[in-house]
Amino acid sequence: MSATRSGTGEDTDGSTGLRGELEPAGSATAALAAAVLGFFVITLDVSGVNVALPAVGNDLGGSLSGLQWVADAYTLMFAALMLSAGSLSDRVGARRAYGWGVGLFTLASLACAVAPTLGTLTAARVLQGGAAAVMVPSSLALIRQAFPDPDKRARGIALWTVGGAVAIAAGPVLGGLLTTEWSWRAVFWLNVPAGLAGFLTLMRAARSPRHPAVFDLPGQLTAVLALAALTFAVIEGGHHGFTGTVVAATAIAVLAGAAFVAVETRRKAPMLPLSLFRQRGVSVPVVAGFACNAAFYGGVFVLSLFFQEQRGQSAFSAGLMFVPMAVITAFFNYASPKAVSRYGPRKVVVAGLLTGMVGCAGLAAVTIGTPPWMTAALMIPLGIGGALAMPALTTLMLDSVAAARAGTAAALLNTSRQTGGALSIAVFGALLAGDFAPGMRESLLLAAALLVANALGAAALLPRR
């Protein structure tokens, strides 16, 4: 009548039996609350740390490239480990994987808070990124398992994305306030009680089924090597030119990428089944998700430096500049699933990408003399664009795969997104290394071009309804 349980309390045969009927009615709500809180903390850390970067540089020393690594060490490991983390979620159960991720993220945050050097901080950020990689796919898998009904699942995903949107709003303000009044270290201390709260909430969630999934060590190693080498080449090449080291890193990235594709093609149980890309409901979200994060997080990185280093604003004042965008973003995150139900994902995705493009193009014209209120207003379309597109892309992705592949699909989408964020920070930072103003303009115009290209692709490839 029910699935066999292991000593850990998780389902071992992948079946659910009467699990949904026997478990407490509040278990689905607890799973959603834990997933939303975890995503909130992860996003809060990203947006808060971006605002704190100038203070980190003043305290621990280091160049712009060093500060880029503080940001990219997190997003790089986030992206590189996401696919294996998705398989882990499928294999050990979403609830257990999520609990492991929350625990490691909390410990890594402690290490960040007490880091004595920039190198130590960067290493701790690597651990944070690895933990976040486990948390994101398992949190989405929790929602997928807790809400088998597509409409309820769409609302759950919308709340999950709203949690991120609220964190985007709160992150710069809290990060700026804590940095200005206390220290940048307080940004990381904030994660500790939030992590404990997430773990306690998770204990009330339903036990997750396990699904067969094999750890793909060759695929994981080649993925990490390819992304790390590429990020290194972009960051160091932008600051020091095409030296022998940069050329070697580029070659390693290309060879490791080719090896990754070869490994995944030949393995019987790859961590990334390449056949998934044959479905437009998978391939379009993967590419468009990359573009959305590249534009948004690259833009936040550039603007955070612009407000503080070019305009001379405090960290708190810089954080307040993001509030109008983030507050409106939260509303559109929640409205996106309703728009998808009414108009279909194609129109919502295209509208979101084009709106984000308008925001990037407008911000490219901003100068030191632009009034602060106008700059804040120009940031709003950038936030709205991602808020419209990402819930629609996430729902489209999860609805395109079987429940047993939910963790892997969520990992694939978020790997693409985090890779976009990591590479945009590397590329935009390189463009800023010379003259800041032209570099900022070129960065934002590049983001705008990426978004409009994806809008055209989504319009051509996605079905009208």
Q: What's the pLDDT band for 211 if we cut at 50, 70, 90?
A: low
| pLDDT band per the 50, 70, 90 thresholds, residue 81 | confident
Least-confidence region, from 130-134, 348-352, 440-444:
130-134
Query: What is the C-alpha separation between 305 and 429, in angstroms, rounded?
Result: 10
Q: At what angle do helices 345-363 and 372-399 cross, to 10 degrees?
A: 150
Residues 31 and 65 in one domain: yes
Predicted confidence band at 288 (pLDDT cuts at 50, 70, 90)? very high
In a domain, 158, yes or no: yes
What six digits make up the tokens of 164?
């991120």
Average pLDDT over residues 17-28: 46
**Furthest C-alpha separation in the chain:** 70
Tell me what the mean pLDDT of segment 459-465 comes to. 76
- List of residues 6+ apart from 183 with CB closer than 8 A: 55, 59
Question: Residue 356: which pLDDT band, with cuts at 50, 70 and 90?
Answer: very high
10 is a domain residue? no
Residue 428 pLDDT exceeds 70: yes
Higher pLDDT, 198 or 286: 286
The domain in which residue 262 lies consists of 216-270
**Of 236, 254, 270, the domain-final residue:** 270
Q: Residue 5's pLDDT is what?
A: 35
* 54 vs 170, more confident: 54
- How many separate domains does the chain show? 2
Task: Inform me whether the pLDDT recorded for 238 exceeds 80.
Answer: no
Q: Which of 252, 270, 288 is the last residue of a domain?
A: 270
> Looking at residue 21, what is its pLDDT?
36
Residue 374 and residue 438 in one domain: yes
pLDDT at res. 396 = 82
Instruction: Name the burial class of residue 47, with classes exposed (0-12), middle (13-18) and buried (19+) by CB atoms within 10 angstroms of its CB.
Output: buried
Examine residue 14 and state whether it is found in any structural domain, yes or no.
no
Q: pLDDT, tens digit, for every residue of 409-425?
A: 777 887 888 788 878 88
Comparing 63-77, 253-267, 274-288, the range with the smallest average pLDDT is 63-77
Residues 193 and 236 in one domain: no
The reply to whether 348 and 247 lie within a common domain is: no
- Average pLDDT for the chain: 79
For residue 3, tell me if it sits in a domain.
no
Comparison of pLDDT for 357 and 80, the residue scoring more: 357
pTM for this structure?
A: 0.72
